[in-house]
A and B are shown apart, each in its own frame.
Chain A
Amino acid sequence: MKVTSPIGELPFVVRGVSLHDGHVVVEGELGAWRSRIEVGAEDLPMLGRAFRGPLIAAGLGLAGIALLRRR
């Protein structure tokens, strides 16, 4: 899985998926960073809309750091 973020595209490896209080919790690693995505019903209409990468990245607890990346 890949995640677009303010520091470019990063690999995301899922280590586990669980359900907590009606939220789907995905735990994994964003590169070397331990990451966690919590998705609630209220998030569903948002996903895929305007924020795209930044919101997902922020949800992962990723602090944006700018790095110029070439393709």
Chain B
Amino acid sequence: MPDRPLVAIVGAGITGLACAHALRDVADVTVVDRIPVPGGVHGWEAAETRELARACRAHMRLGETAIRWDGLALLAIGQDGPQRMEAAALVIATGARPLGRAELGIAGGRPAGIVAATVACHLAENGLLVGRRPLIVGGGDWAMRAAGELRAAGAERATLVCPDGLLRERPVDDGVHVRERDRVVSVAGTPRVRTATLASGETLGCDAVVLAHGVAALRNVDGAVWAGDRAVYAQPLADPATVERARAAGAEAAAAVRSLIDQEERP
């Protein structure tokens, strides 16, 4: 059907795929993702990913990075060069990240060894340990995962400092210590972090501070970072990021896209 509206979705995770799936009968959908496989944080091997990727009937542009949106077209770039895709609506389904240092209000110097949990886990998976005695800020999924990955990669001990308390079951690992209802207010050390001072007044020794607290939306398409023209945001800021939440956010975004398109079509 040539006159179906074109919709561009950035992010081929469960949210983006679920959105594409919900729009499959009313729009021609293109899904763009900078990773060369679908699935996002849930992975390309997940059953839901495989099923949605097959059933959504969207045109997939994987391994391409969406960089600009001007309200009429999306510009993405990848191995085949820049691609301009006209679209009646843009859906941003690019997931989330833990809060950064400024967002957490951690004062002090700028020593090495302050890293996001996303980075610490990736490096650990590749055999690179960011700290032997890491202090992990957070008590949710990212924090638990970082504790596990770093211990597995050789960390002697890990201390979780949980501003909102421990959101998951207490880790059974003896090498993981927990400080509930406390937060890191400043860090010190040169050139690598050596201590972190908590709101309770205590100062703990550490050789890395892993930021794993809170959830912020990742938005990197210029023109659709805050309130973009004809842009819909499908980024559930929830911990844990479950498949159910992702599906629900995708469906919700699809409904928003439909009402946007309906408005356009009305005279």
Contact = CB atoms under 8 A, between A and B. Distances in A.
Say whether A associates with B: yes
Interface of A: 4, 6-8, 10-11, 30-34, 50, 52-54, 65-71
B122 A6 contact: yes
B115 to A, nearest CB: 11
A31 B63 contact: yes
Contacts of B127: 50, 52
Given A11-B44, A70-B43, A70-B145, A52 B126 contact: yes
A3 to B, nearest CB: 11
A50 B44 CA distance: 26
Interface in B47-97: 60-63, 79
Given A4-B125, A31-B35, A52-B126, A67 B119 contact: no
Contacts of B43: 8, 69-71
Given A31-B63, A32-B60, A67 B126 contact: no
B126 A33 contact: no
Contacts of B34: 65
A67 B62 CA distance: 14
A4 to B, nearest CB: 7
Given A69-B43, A70-B42, A70-B43, A31 B122 contact: no
Given A33-B79, A71-B43, A10 B121 contact: no
B40 interface: yes
Given A31-B44, A32-B63, A7 B126 contact: no
B197 interface: no
Nearest to B96: A68
A65 to B, nearest CB: 6
